[in-house]
Structure 1
Amino acid sequence: MHTRRPFRTLALALGTAGLLISGCSSGSSSSGAASPAQAASVSPSPVPAALKSYYAQHLSWRDCGVSGFQCTTMKAPLDYAKPDGGEIKLAVSRKKATGPGKRIGSLLVNPGGPGGSAIGYLQGYAAIGYPAQVRARYDMVAIDPRGVARSEPVECLTGPQMDVYTQVDQTPDDDAEVTKLSGAFKKFATGCEKRSGEVLPHVSTEETARDMDMLRALLGDEHLNYVGASYGTFLGATYAELFPGRTGRLVLDGAMDPSLSSIELNRDQTAGFETAFQSFAQDCVRKSDCPLGTTSADEAATRLKKLFTELDAKPIPTGESRDLGESLATTGVIAAMYDESAWPQLREALTAADAGDGSGLLALADSYYEREPSGEYANLMYANAAVNCLDLPPAFATPQDVTKALPSFEKASPVFGEGFAWAALNCAYWPVPATGTAHRIEAEGAAPIVVVGTTRDPATPYHWAESLADQLSSGTLLTYEGDGHTAYGRGSDCIDTAINTYLLEGTPPPADKKCS
């Protein structure tokens, strides 16, 4: 289990990120028309001379073999501080505006992670699931961030090695188990350095934001129009900070707070999952088939904790070579917290686990880790660690630091706190020092930016959205009073109408608008 892995919904994000682009053949290329100018009080800064050749490159678009989609490859400097020191190739896909109506420009999308495939999200959901009027007037575009999926992906472990890693006990009971967990984190980090050492220092959010600006220019757009979910909100806010004069219509859904340290982010997210679990538990105990009791959320929490303790002592069979222990079971429960539509599946999985069958919780855990039936894993978790550990200094430097922090994590969540605290130790052993720091993002001079928060969001707690909207000089907060991770396209006509109006007309919703 990794913490600080904000992501979009289980059904949409985890289900689409594994799709592949294949069968590219020669086709025509087109840069498209420029976006209309957006209101901004600062002028775009000129492109540095050392980057002009990158900003002037030609994108050769090809048929991707997926209906209506084109693909291409964009070159970027591996190291923006040394543009002549080598290149990285980044995969891009788009689906052109369908009409009717005048084309507005390109709409870049990112589902979060970090480590989620934006191209998988585009092809599996956004380009077919976003409202028709938005798809009619925007070219829908995605770029897999550096180190992710098709863009020179970070690799760390083999499939069998990852199977072992995901089963390591993350609630150690003694020094021997602490040593084993620390050793697993070290082996993970060493594997990343061995397999992807060249790219590891260059997968930061800032570098990806710079890649996005280059793509904006190559698409022929004066301003970047963007919908980012979860971690994608941090990416979008970083873009606005770097390029306020080039910021167009930005929707930041399921917002992160860039001013928080790594330990604060992890502890807040722990509390967020506790809030989500309480909501699930309150729903569950009202049902006659609830495997966690039928009296109260507190009873449900006690019974779930008891199940975890039993699985820690004695894993149960799953019908596969992997048994279900506490770590995989916890991950399975966490996966279902991302989207309330997964709650029935979680109830069934917990009922089966009580009867000695761990297959249901294992399936949920596998969806979280993007494990294929073949035993291979997508690079989601590898890229997730690589970006997180580069963006901020580690939450903890030693196991002793974790031990000192345990009470605050367990206060945040009696059910998940201990595991989340120990999981936050992973960056302590990272082979590349962090290059980013926690700081407020104001993006002075940017066009209006819509920040969306869900009140019972597990992965990006609501107060993060409140904070980001307050930090951004042009931020407007849009609130969804409900469950699950992110809000756009999840069934609220109020949310969707507000965002669609902003994307199509440039008019943000009224300040502090609330939807349910």
Structure 2
Amino acid sequence: MRAVAKYGAVTSLGSLVLSALVVAPAGGATTASAASHGTAVAAARAAAAGIAFGRCAEAEMLPDSIQCGTVKVPLDYAEPAGRQIELTVSRGKATGKPAEYQGAFIYNPGGPGASSMYFPMAAALPEWKGIARAYDIVGYSPRGVGRSAPLSCIAPADFLKAPTPAPVQPSPSYKQERIAQAKAYAQGCARNAGQSLRHYTSLNNARDLEVLRAALGEQKLNFMGASYGTYFGALYATLFPSHVRRMVFDSVVNPATEQIWYRNNLDQSFAFESRWADFRAWVAKHDKTYHLGATPEAVARSYERVRARLAEKPAGGKVGPGELHAAFLAVGYYDGYWTRRADALSEYLKGNAKPLIDQAAPEAAEAREAENGQAVYTAVECNDAPWPTDWKVWDRDNSALARKAPFETWDNAWMNLPCAFWPAPRQQPLEVRTQRGALPPVLILAAQRDAATPYKGALELTRRLKGSVLITEEKAGTHGIGGGDNKCVNGYLEDYLLHGKTPVRRASCAPHPEPDPVSLDRRAASPRLPHAV
């Protein structure tokens, strides 16, 4: 996910001008009441209809062991008898004995704009086998994603045009170019989606989850949301607390209403600077393998040399500074990328551009999915909340932030800038909060140095969902830790999902091991070595 946060990290936000925000139209309470009634109607209808699971469409590229189906939800919950859209759903049946069965377990990987149709395949992984014995493993494509009433804003071929620039200190003329692109993008979303554009929201994603629960025949929800999935999962917990059985929040979006979404994005950019420093420190520690510099500063200079060369001559005609940055942004999310990215940088400086091209060049075959994911991301975040509509606010805040955190700041700003010119009405975010006893215990997982969803978000959600329990992976920064490399975290996750057990308040796990540096030469000479992510 590209838009999540740590409260209060960027002091310049205190001067945000309220008059620069677009606010939701009057009549919000009436609309919310109608949507609440509409959700109950849609859920009852889905419970009666169920889901006719069968062979998956070829486009899903899933094995025969997984079944697929669809569930109908209202485009507009205020009009449950109006236009319906279909969400695609996948399921892998529980593998254990009947006495072990605990129902359906739904997963969302975040985004906004990501699908979990692949998720039933996780049942074969060692970390998930125990859970898969007890639960039907269920994935789905949220509204707008994949084949679920897909949303598009521009031609996919235009979305992945390369090479692209990525100036750390954009000039006034470059800023004007990006403003024009953001306006055109917002207009494209409106032109393609029409009146339906306003209905791609986090609140509707939470309502869709309630309808999916009912369609699966479940009286109560078993759900795990990662990244953005924690935000609409928290909305679900606020709207339907009595319908929750087991709920896991993994890598948590700060749900405070004032954070959604402009401030969360600034806080994320600030946090990425520290994670970028973690990567450079690791590379420096392994200078004998990568020869990129024995200090983090020296590694940074190596990276800048590559950026400068790519600006003059893109690698393979496709990898310029923009593609380089996008590839290396991944190291802030997952340290599983560290070895491959360091290899690619090292090899490029030795005259071998192929690894960098392989890892950074956009793939035409991925253009449609990538454009669709970006369209849904933009629509949901722009619709969810007020955004500054005055470019001077964006310029002031991001210019100030870029002086402290240059690595992601402007790239993140350009990604979200269509929200300044968004044509659909904005909502006021729902206050995420439950009273003690309203929810059963829920599990919150967070890595202490996560940049995509900074740790303060997990602390904030823990305060707001009374009775929730926080598990922290100390001194680690991988984004999404449940079912990953940390056996301690996985133990808490399995205890909770299989037995409903949680620590009394909170617990900590030592960090998972750092990646083992593997040079391309060593990898070629040792084919038994596992491939990095």
TM class, shorter-chain normalised?
0.7 to 0.9
CA deviation after TM superposition for structure 1 residue 505, in Å:
0.7
Q: CA–CA distance in 2 between the matches of 1:200 and 1:358?
A: 42
Indicate yes or no: 2:376 matched with 1:406: no
| Equivalent residues in 2 for 1:223-242, closer than 5 Å | 223-242=220-239
Could you tell me which of 102, 108, 112 is aligned with 1:104?
Answer: 102
What's 1:194 paired with? 191
Is 1:305–1:415's contact at 8 Å kept on the other side of the alignment?
no
Residue 186 of structure 1 aligns to a residue whose secondary structure is helix
Is 1:189–1:429's contact at 8 Å kept on the other side of the alignment?
yes
Q: CA–CA distance in 2 between the matches of 1:178 and 1:501?
A: 51
Could you tell me which of 204, 209, 220 is aligned with 2:217?
Answer: 220
Q: CA–CA distance in 2 between the matches of 1:154 and 1:132?
A: 34
Residue 498 of structure 1 aligns to a residue whose secondary structure is helix
Could you tell me which of 500, 513, 516 is aligned with 2:507?
Answer: 513
CA deviation after TM superposition for structure 1 residue 423, in Å:
3.6
Is 1:244–1:446's contact at 8 Å kept on the other side of the alignment?
yes
CA deviation after TM superposition for structure 1 residue 451, in Å:
0.8
| Equivalent residues in 2 for 1:373-392, closer than 5 Å | 373=365, 376-378=368-370, 379-392=372-385
Residue 465 of structure 1 aligns to a residue whose secondary structure is helix
Cα distance change of structure 1 residues 416 and 291 upon mapping to structure 2, 3 Å threshold: farther
Indicate yes or no: 2:125 matched with 1:131: no
What's 1:272 paired with? 271
Could you tell me which of 400, 423, 428 is aligned with 1:431?
Answer: 423
Q: CA–CA distance in 1 between the matches of 2:103 and 2:48?
A: 19
Tell me which amino acid in the other structure corresponds to 1:327: G
What's 1:248 paired with? 245
CA deviation after TM superposition for structure 1 residue 139, in Å:
0.8
What's 1:469 paired with? 462
Could you tell me which of 443, 460, 469 is aligned with 1:450?
Answer: 443
What's 1:459 paired with? 452
Deviations 1:30-80 (A, max 9, x none): xxxxxxxxxxxxxx9997457643443232121227232111111111100
Is 1:127–1:140's contact at 8 Å kept on the other side of the alignment?
no
Deviations 1:332-385 (A, max 9, x none): 110232211211111122224445766544544467xxx444754442222111
| Equivalent residues in 2 for 1:343-354, closer than 5 Å | 343-354=338-349
Indicate yes or no: 2:87 matched with 1:95: no
Indicate yes or no: 2:181 matched with 1:184: yes
Is 2:131–2:494's contact at 8 Å kept on the other side of the alignment?
yes
Deviations 1:286-339 (A, max 9, x none): 112435411x22333354345445645x24222xx52x2222211111023221
Q: CA–CA distance in 2 between the matches of 1:132 and 1:510?
A: 26
Residue 85 of structure 1 aligns to a residue whose secondary structure is coil
Indicate yes or no: 2:320 matched with 1:325: yes
* Larger helix share, 1 or 2: 2
What's 2:335 paired with? 340
| Equivalent residues in 2 for 1:67-86, closer than 5 Å | 67-86=64-83
Question: What is the Cα-based RMSD across aligned positions, in Å?
Answer: 2.8
What's 1:492 paired with? 486
CA deviation after TM superposition for structure 1 residue 119, in Å:
0.7
What's 2:261 paired with? 262
Q: CA–CA distance in 1 between the matches of 2:39 and 2:416?
A: 38
CA deviation after TM superposition for structure 1 residue 389, in Å:
1.4
Identity %: 29
Q: Which runs of 5+ in 1 are unaligned?
A: 7-43
Is 1:262–1:392's contact at 8 Å kept on the other side of the alignment?
yes
Is 2:182–2:414's contact at 8 Å kept on the other side of the alignment?
no
Tell me which amino acid in the other structure corresponds to 2:284: V
Is 1:333–1:361's contact at 8 Å kept on the other side of the alignment?
no
What's 1:31 paired with? none
Cα distance change of structure 1 residues 192 and 418 upon mapping to structure 2, 3 Å threshold: closer
Q: CA–CA distance in 1 between the matches of 2:366 and 2:439?
A: 46
What's 2:517 paired with? none
Tell me which amino acid in the other structure corresponds to 1:57: A
Task: Tell me how many residue pairs correspond in the alignment.
Answer: 468
What's 1:417 paired with? 409
Is 2:293–2:299's contact at 8 Å kept on the other side of the alignment?
yes
Deviations 1:213-257 (A, max 9, x none): 112122221110111111111121111011000011101011111
Is 1:106–1:225's contact at 8 Å kept on the other side of the alignment?
yes
Q: CA–CA distance in 1 between the matches of 2:290 and 2:501?
A: 45
Q: CA–CA distance in 2 between the matches of 1:264 and 1:405?
A: 10
What's 1:150 paired with? 147
Residue 434 of structure 2 aligns to a residue whose secondary structure is coil
Q: CA–CA distance in 1 between the matches of 2:163 and 2:4?
A: 15
Deviations 1:419-442 (A, max 9, x none): 334443231122223224274433
Q: CA–CA distance in 1 between the matches of 2:124 and 2:182?
A: 37
Cα distance change of structure 1 residues 200 and 407 upon mapping to structure 2, 3 Å threshold: same
Is 1:478–1:511's contact at 8 Å kept on the other side of the alignment?
no
Tell me which amino acid in the other structure corresponds to 1:342: Y
Is 1:406–1:417's contact at 8 Å kept on the other side of the alignment?
yes
Tell me which amino acid in the other structure corresponds to 1:493: K
Residue 173 of structure 2 aligns to a residue whose secondary structure is helix
Tell me which amino acid in the other structure corresponds to 2:100: K
**TM superposition score normalised by structure 1:** 0.83
Is 2:50–2:217's contact at 8 Å kept on the other side of the alignment?
no
Cα distance change of structure 1 residues 397 and 251 upon mapping to structure 2, 3 Å threshold: same
Q: Which runs of 5+ in 2 are unaligned?
A: 6-35, 57-61, 511-533
Moved more, 338-347 or 188-197: 188-197
Cα distance change of structure 1 residues 317 and 306 upon mapping to structure 2, 3 Å threshold: closer
